[in-house]
Structure formats: structure tokens, C-alpha cells
């Protein structure tokens, strides 16, 4: 990821997020995704696929072709599947997505380690792939789950859920964490815990109101941008402007 970011001079992750399309329009949806990839790739270091891009095409019959294109462009492919089940199911989910060519996937830290995410990390380490953990999401209601007070089982002290998740990311040696750009104060707090050991991926730029400058100053390393680029009249120009602005803030 660092090598891709250096080569592209970009810390921007393109999120291929599209709204629902009727079956008769889904061929056009695939063409849109290809077109955006072809025009935007010089300005991003990775591409994030969400489940609502997998659903209409399938993992191996459709999206795998897009993943190959991403790799041919010298980019990383991240599957935003938010793994969130029991261990046996999580293992199979990870195996399928990694087999499709994804370099990393996202997982929900709520699941816990034993009988939860341990198999995902096991598969990832064997295949030399990545696991990115959710620590604090970008939407307005994130505080209801990620911001609730909990008791630390090891210390017996009360702390906030996202703080516990950041600690688990360190303990489990995660490859990245997600903290919404809409909450720069949370980014700063998590960064103070993680330092440069684990990079922070920040979604929520643009459509959700997150600001690159404040998130960057707080410690975010990669910025996940979807709708602001995908729905733009000129996706390539928009991506270039966002990349250049990010570089100017460093």
C-alpha cells in the first residue's frame, strides 16, 4: 500500500460505490465501473469494493475481472465486506475474497477474536493479505455503537468502545483501521494510540461532510472517497483535485 501510494503520489482510495440498478441496467453499471477505473486510476493508490458492487455481478464471474484491472493499474484492491460472523463463516468469507484477488478486507471488531476474527487473520497471514478493522465509522449514528461506554475485561476500567477497538487492532496486529473523516477528534485519539504502527483509513470525505485537512492533521493516512468522485461530471478531474489538495495539506 505504501509503495502504491508513493508511486502514484496519492493517499486516495477510490470507493466504487453505486446505487441500486434494475437488472436490465446492470451491464451499464459494470461499464461505468470500468470507465471510472480507467480514468481515475492515475490519481489513486487503491480501490475499495463494497458489497453492493459484488451483489449484482458475483465475485468470480464479474468483479474478479475488475480486480485484475485494478492490479494491472498498479493499485491495491480492498474488499469492504465488514466480516461480522462466527469464525467458520468468517474464514470461508475471507478465503473466497482473497481467492478472487483482493489484497485486503475489512472486518467488524465487535465479533471478537476467539471463534470470531482469529480465522480471518490466520488466512490473511498465510496468504500475505491484509485485514482492516472498523474502529469508528463515518455516519452520524456511529456513536451509538462505537462511542458507547464499555468495561475493559482485562483492567476492569470503563472506556469507550472505539478505544477498546483501537487497542484490539494493536493487539491483533491489524494492517489498518477505519476511523471516519467526519470525526477528526476520534482520528487524533486513535492516532495517539497507534502512532505509525497501523495506518488510519478515513471514509466520509465529500458526501458526508468530512474534511481532508482536519483529518490529515489528526493523523489519517488514507482517504476513502466514493460518491464525490463516482457521481461527478468529470470523475478523473475530481479525483485529481482531491489528490492534489491532499498533497498540498501535507
Over residues 27-69, the pLDDT tens digits come to: 778 888 999 999 999 999 999 999 888 888 887 778 899 999 9
Q: Is 240 a catalytic residue?
A: no
pLDDT (0 to 100) of residue 208 = 84
Of the candidates 218, 231, 215, 234, the residue with the CA atom closest to the CA atom of residue 12: 215
Residue-wise pLDDT tens digits, 176-191 = 999 999 999 999 999 9
Q: Virtual CA dihedral for 40, 231, 107, 102, nearest 10 degrees?
A: -30
pLDDT at 62: 80
Query: In the prediction, which pLDDT does 206 show?
Result: 81
Look at residue 223 in the predicted model and tell me its pLDDT: 97
What's the distance, CA 142 to chain centroid?
16
Residue 225 has a pLDDT of: 95
Structural domain span for residue 23? 2-249
Across-strand partners of 158?
A: 151
**DSSP code string of 184-240:** HHHHHHHHHHHTTSSPEEEE-BSTT-B-HHHHHHHT--EEEE-HHHHTSSSHHHHHH
Mean pLDDT of the chain: 93
Interatomic CA distance for residues 34 and 29, integer angstroms = 9
Among 8, 48, 69, 82, which one carries the catalytic annotation? 82
Q: What is the pLDDT of residues 74-114, one digit of tens each?
A: 999 999 999 999 999 999 999 999 999 999 999 999 999 99
Number of domains in the chain: 1
pTM: 0.95
Supply 17's cell numbers: 460505490
Residue 209: its pLDDT value, please?
85
**What's the CA gap between 94 and 104, in Å, rounded?**
9
CATH of the domain at 133: 3.20.20.70
Question: In the prediction, which pLDDT does 174 show?
Answer: 98
Q: What pLDDT was estimated at residue 78?
A: 98
Amino acid at each position: 500500500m505504501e509503495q502504491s501510494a508513493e508511486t502514484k503520489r496519492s493517499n486516495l482510495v477510490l470507493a466504487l460505490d453505486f446505487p441500486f440498478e434494475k437488472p436490465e441496467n446492470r451491464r451499464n453499471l459494470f461499464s461505468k465501473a470500468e470507465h471510472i477505473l480507467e480514468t481515475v486510476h492515475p490519481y489513486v493508490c487503491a480501490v475499495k469494493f463494497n458489497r453492493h458492487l459484488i451483489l449484482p455481478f458475483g465475485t468470480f464471474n464479474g468483479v474478479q475481472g475488475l480486480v485484475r484491472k485494478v492490479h494491472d493499474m498498479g493499485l491495491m484492491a480492498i474488499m469492504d465486506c465488514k466480516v461480522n460472523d462466527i469464525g467458520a463463516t468468517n474464514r470461508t468469507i475471507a478465503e473466497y475474497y482473497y481467492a478472487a484477488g483482493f489484497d485486503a478486507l475489512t472486518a467488524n471488531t465487535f465479533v471478537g477474536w476467539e471463534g470470531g476474527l482469529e480465522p480471518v487473520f490466520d488466512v490473511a497471514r498465510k496468504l500475505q493479505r491484509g485485514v482492516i478493522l472498523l474502529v469508528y465509522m463515518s455516519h452520524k449514528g456511529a456513536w451509538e455503537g462505537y462511542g458507547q461506554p464499555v468495561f475493559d475485561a482485562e483492567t476492569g476500567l470503563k472506556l469507550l468502545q472505539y478505544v477498546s477497538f483501537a487497542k484490539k487492532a494493536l493487539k491483533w496486529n491489524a494492517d489498518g483501521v477505519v476511523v471516519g473523516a467526519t470525526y477528526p477528534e476520534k482520528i487524533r485519539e486513535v492516532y495517539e494510540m497507534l502512532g505509525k504502527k497501523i495506518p488510519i483509513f478515513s471514509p466520509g470525505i465529500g458526501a458526508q461532510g468530512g474534511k481532508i485537512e482536519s483529518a490529515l492533521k489528526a493523523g489519517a493516512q488514507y482517504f476513502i472517497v466514493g460518491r464525490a468522485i463516482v457521481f461527478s461530471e468529470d470523475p478523473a478531474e475530481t479525483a485529481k483535485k482531491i489528490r492534489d489538495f491532499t498533497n498540498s495539506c501535507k
